[in-house]
Structure 1
Amino acid sequence: MSLSASETFDWTDPIIQDAAIKLYQQEWISALAYNQDLIDYLLARTWLEPTHRDEEYVLTGIGKQALAQWLDKHIPNWNQLPSSETLLNQQQQEVNKRYEFIQPRLQQPLPEVINENVFNCIFTGDNQGAVAAELREKLPKEYQICQDRRLHLRGHMDLRIKRHARRPIRLERIMEMLSEVALSERDLLDMQELDGELPYLVMTVEDYGVFLDMPLPDHLLLVWAQAEHHSLVARFLKLFPHFVPHLHFGDLDHSGLLLAEYLSRETGRPVRRFIPHFWDEYRQYYAQPTQEEAGKGGRWRGAVLSAPVLKDLMQDQQWMPQATLIFDQRLPEELAKLLD
């Protein structure tokens, strides 16, 4: 079951409302801190797709229809709402009033990194609100604002993430003790390059349960490609040299295909999909009909692909989740072949 917008973030926030309306009107949007939740929500449902420009997205055909329906449902009379300039002036008054109050009370120095929800709460009074980018530029800049997303990794290797002004993160020591490594985004803001033992292969995995339960041969690094954190995953993947191949293992559906395409586009690296040869055997028992609504299990769109199992699923408008084959006894051998 897909989440409604109200379960993801506050559609009553005037900044989010204005961003959604402007997106509908101009059919494209640039990623900024205040609209990232909206963009992630729409990307997860394939209502948006990235362009060739960094952090820029356009509405898909189905996205334009669906967004209009959401606007009608969650923002009554949205065509009659105040203009973005009016909203900005209103928020500027509120931000200025709060800043005058809190400025003499702030500790000095402030932390180098501040959580975005904390920042928004200080200046809007609501941690689900957002300070417009134009106003944020006028506030002090001696700190960085961070969403504190997480990068999830699994592997058995002495891989190190070198950072600009801090000690490298040695992943092997953490991996020896835990089932996964979950690194906060604030610990990766200044990551520069990778050092130590590189994997033979990097595999992004769409489903979190599959990411945790997959067999893990030596020299394979697994990265959870959470849809909402895709840009953080892409930043990490860019650190790998091109001789380390990247495979994506996801659900066999349209949104899984878009996720792989996004990672390829954002990293500038070719991405192959990992489709075990025996997956087609599962189709009779686990294939599900696609849904009209965009998102997980949404209808296939675009040209039919040549890979046999994908071709059959697309022609019959069916999809399959990747979790069904995770314990197949042939999977470890398939992974080993990739590393030979």
Structure 2
Amino acid sequence: MAGIFDNEYIQQAARQLMLGAEIQLNHSALQPLKHLFSQHKLFAIVRGDRVSLTPQGKQYFRQQMQQATTVEHDDPEADLLSLHIALPAIVNQQVIASLLQRDRLSSLSQATQALLADTQLTASTDDILRIRAETAFSLYLTDGSLLDLSAMLKLSNEVALSQRMLMGISKVLPANTDFQYVITVQQLGAFIEMPMKPQCIYLYCPDEQSALAHDFLKLLPASIKWYHFADLAQDSINQAKQLAVDTGRPCKPLIPRHFKQAIRFYAKPVADSGKSAWQLSTLSPELAARLAPLIENELWLEQEVLIYCL
């Protein structure tokens, strides 16, 4: 009987059973276990089409696994198949990483991404996009329905959309008047405290979670002017340039008109802050001229001190 435990499918199922899990034995590779349980009824607890191990069964399985030859393999599909796991069309990325890479915090490998593409599964980080607007708008969904956000915006001027909801949006529809501007904001404090302006929509866009803002920007007409509000520093300019590449829009960092007045009180040395040094080669002549008071003195400004200078 020990020979059946040399099979990789049996070993995967055995590990789950010894951990106390209930599994199905419908797969053809697991038929030897079904036969084993029919011969030794004291090993298994049957609940409908699922089985788990009794204490006696766990002891027997431990003995057999100690004697079995461990099967080394790298076949995540076989693992899922042996456990009868059927994944939905959209799966949380940490769940995918845990199932296929044994580590929920690991980045998805190329092999995992290829597997997802082949099976037409989508991994979702399930982040939240925060949006502020004074002008009400609705979302036209791919299933043909319309989601009116007027009441929520009237209550707080802010809505939060999950990544999965963003996947189902095909168009943004302003209620009474079209948006003229969209502003992505790097830091949460600045995003929350920025004075609201009519016909303008604000998107929270932190460095580490900018993908959702990218996706929403792509839903907006090209006629809406986009600006990126962030620290007046080289790193933030670089982020704005990457956003421009990702969304196919012109790069326009939002520079407050009166920021020079804040330099005396709030500017910080680039060298002491872990910020990247200014790189004139990456700046347009116009932008370099506007930021000259900072660049020439190797300084930078946090965006939070600039929100009331807009």
Shared fold, TM over 0.5: yes
Larger gyration radius, structure 1 or structure 2: 2
SS at match of 1:299: coil
Alpha-carbon shift at residue 176 of structure 1 (Å): 2.8
Q: What stretches of structure 1 of length at least 5 have no aligned partner?
A: 1-92, 335-340
- Among 99, 118, 134, which residue is 2:95 paired with? 118
Counterpart of 2:188 in structure 1: which amino acid?
Y
Change (3 A) 1:314 1:153: same
Q: Label 1:134 to 1:319 Cα distance change in 2 as closer, same or farther (>3 A).
A: same
Q: Deviations over 1:223-249 (max 9, x none)?
A: 112112223322221222222111222
Structure 2 counterpart of 1:337:
none
Map of 2:298 onto structure 1: 317
Determine which of 147, 150, 167 is the counterpart of 2:128.
Answer: 150
Preserved contact between residue 260 and residue 293 of structure 2 (Cα < 8 Å): no
Q: Is the 8 A contact 1:247 1:272 kept in 2?
A: yes
CA contact (8 A) 2:135 2:199 kept: yes
Specify the code of the residue in structure 2 equivalent to 1:112.
A
Report if aligned partners of 1:287, 1:318 keep a CA contact under 8 Å in 2.
yes
Which one-letter code corresponds to 2:227 in the other structure?
L
User: How many residues align structurally?
Assistant: 234
Contact 1:205 1:249 in 2 (8 A): yes
> Greater relative contact order (Cα 8 A, min sep 6): structure 1 or 2?
1
Equivalent residue number for residue 111 of structure 2? 134
CA contact (8 A) 1:252 1:320 kept: yes
1:27 is aligned to none
Pairs within 5 Å for 1:16-95: 95=74
Q: C-alpha distance in 1, partners of 2:112/2:181?
A: 43
Q: CA deviation at 1:101?
A: 4.3
Q: Equivalent pairs: percent with the same residue?
A: 23
Kindly indicate whether the alpha-carbon contact (under 8 Å) linking 1:286 and 1:324 is maintained by their aligned counterparts in 2: yes
Cross-structure match for 1:188: 166
Whether the aligned pair in 2 keeps the contact of 1:207 and 1:250 (CA below 8 Å) is yes
Q: Name the CA distance, whole Å, in 1 between partners of 2:83 and 2:146.
A: 35
CA–CA distance in structure 1, aligned partners of residues 212 and 132 of structure 2:
16
Give the letter for the 1:133 counterpart.
Q
Deviations 1:109-131 (A, max 9, x none): x4331101011111222201345
Please give the alpha-carbon distance, in whole angstroms, between the structure 2 residues aligned to 1:288 and 1:268: 32
What is the Cα deviation at residue 213 of structure 1?
Answer: 0.9
Give the unaligned 5+ runs of structure 2.
Answer: 1-71
Retained in 2: the 8 A contact 1:124–1:130? no
8 Å contact kept, 1:146–1:185: yes
Which deviations, in whole Å up to 9, do the C-alpha atoms of 1:156-185 show, x marking residues without a partner? 223223232263443333323345322111
Rounded to whole Å, the distance in 1 between the matches of 2:81 and 2:164 is: 24
- What is the CA-CA distance between 1:324 and the residue it aligns to? 1.0
